Structure 1
């Protein structure tokens, strides 16, 4: 599944091709508590139809009203607008805690750059788009994972495409659910499964099957600090091979499916047969995912993706704020009890 930003661009392209005028709005700076981060996109059609969002809805409503009233009819170049600069404005536009949004609004005149971005991201390329506020000129270039939005008041550079990478070992139902969710979060999703009876059913848009054995594939992709690796086959012969290489890599997240009992057995096996250190083994997230009482593949996928995002964003829950979770493992199942801390 494509990311939400690319969905906005696809809508803009379709609207322009059908003869509508479109204004594209990008969040470039925020202060205080803002509903959407820098880089968030909103497209507003001349009749008020919208795609994407930049706030909880009140800013969108104001922009829609202005566009329908014809205020943007003769907008020829990009310009800036701020919302919530005063306490009264913050309350009016639904920005919590006195938050402020600074936006760049631009008339979409040509669509060649949109077509290029959509084409290049379909092949998993990361693209940087630079917009000049002086004349509205747009340039595209290849980008690297780790780059961020840049805005100096004159030029705005935003990124489109997979900023993160996820390698899934296993092509089963759970892997497909995780892949679908990760794609919406700008992850390039790779799947390795030498078992043809599983991999043959892998037919998902935006997911790439990587041929080979798991350990060879992990080595081949050279995991970096923007790579997550998860072993989901529940087959030690496959999962252990991937983990053997992953735990000594620069991947920011490494997880494996299985109960606490299985994880303890796995760590002992990895330490004995692959000579992995305690430091390396401590990097393994298992049971994989946040404890949310998940039971179905879709619920488990939510817990896995949520934990990846938590680690990616360096977020930790304090003991006083979190729910106290205790788990009891019976075989390969996990029974979770939840009590208020």
Structure 2
């Protein structure tokens, strides 16, 4: 499962290879509320087909109408604005007085989209420089902290996974977690030393590693853009990896299990050289409380909590499984994900 912006690039490359003219549209600035963030992309083909989104639909309709009536005529990148006046804001569904600024770039064989995709397949974080005067494109290695920049001469965008997720265990739940996380632009690594689980893995696009999880945690040198989720229910695999992860800079460390099992896990981890503050970083039972019962729902619950932590949502505003009260008609097993 690809992220939206990766799908935009892949579709653009296919259109270029088929001989179509197309344009890449990138959100570069917004004022007021906006349904899509800076860096969001859309591609539009000369026959009016579109992939991606820059506004949730309103501005897309105008872009499509222009292409169908005028064709694609740009030969150089152009910066355009929508919603400068109150009338335009109303027309395009923007808040009154709101504005969205877009870079519209005509694509062709020299746009290096295929080369960019090749680098992304190798899980590289890539910076794409577009010369606004000539349309020339160059690709460079990007820093994780880099952000979209626009000057009089150039547009610089970043592409590739900015976040890493280590999943311990290659079971059914791990497959759902890996799929959703990949669509959210995480570089996902799944670790499981058990041959019987690795042999059933069905996501070739997700890296599967045969190693002891605690060794891999140390090897990965987890930073503030890294997360770890333990999903095996096996203390021999989970505990040592969690111990190392909780001592790292990882922004999120979680483990599946019931409240009782997680209490026992915390007691075991305290016997290692963890401090109470480090142990307090452990999210377990993992995930936000959404009444999840199936593996797919549990995966959504886990990624929802991880997203809340990544985006700085205070813990007191999160209803997680450890704090959730038993809802009427809901069993304790359903609330805690696993009994």
TM-score normalised according to structure 2 size: 0.93
- Which residues in structure 2 correspond to 1:1-341 (within 5 Å)? 1-70=1-70, 72-73=72-73, 75-96=74-95, 98-111=97-110, 113-272=112-271, 274-316=272-314, 326-328=324-326, 333-335=333-335
Flag the 1:231–1:219 CA change in 2: closer, same or farther, 3 A.
same
Regions of 4+ moved over 4 Å: 321-325, 328-332
Contact 1:327/1:334 (CA < 8 Å) preserved in 2? no
RMSD: 2.2
Residues 186-206 of structure 1, C-alpha deviation per residue, up to 9 Å, x if partnerless?
A: 110001101110111113143
Q: Report the number of matched residues.
A: 333
Question: Which sections of structure 2, spanning at least 5 residues, go unmatched?
Answer: none
Residues 227-252 of structure 1, C-alpha deviation per residue, up to 9 Å, x if partnerless?
A: 00010001111110110100000101
Question: Which sections of structure 1, spanning at least 5 residues, go unmatched?
Answer: 337-341
Contact 1:82/1:101 (CA < 8 Å) preserved in 2? yes
> Structure 1 residues 82-91 or 232-241, which shifts more?
82-91
Flag the 1:323–1:163 CA change in 2: closer, same or farther, 3 A.
closer
Contact 2:30/2:38 (CA < 8 Å) preserved in 1? yes
Name the CA distance, whole Å, in 1 between partners of 2:141 and 2:172.
34
Residues 253-295 of structure 1, C-alpha deviation per residue, up to 9 Å, x if partnerless?
A: 10000122221111111001x1211100010011111111100
Name the CA distance, whole Å, in 2 between partners of 1:322 and 1:170.
25
Name the CA distance, whole Å, in 1 between partners of 2:87 and 2:109.
37
Flag the 1:189–1:251 CA change in 2: closer, same or farther, 3 A.
same
**Distance apart, 1:210 and its partner CA:** 2.0
Contact 2:286/2:320 (CA < 8 Å) preserved in 1? no
Flag the 1:25–1:307 CA change in 2: closer, same or farther, 3 A.
same
Residues 99-142 of structure 1, C-alpha deviation per residue, up to 9 Å, x if partnerless?
A: 32100001113256111111111111111101111111111011
Contact 2:287/2:320 (CA < 8 Å) preserved in 1? no
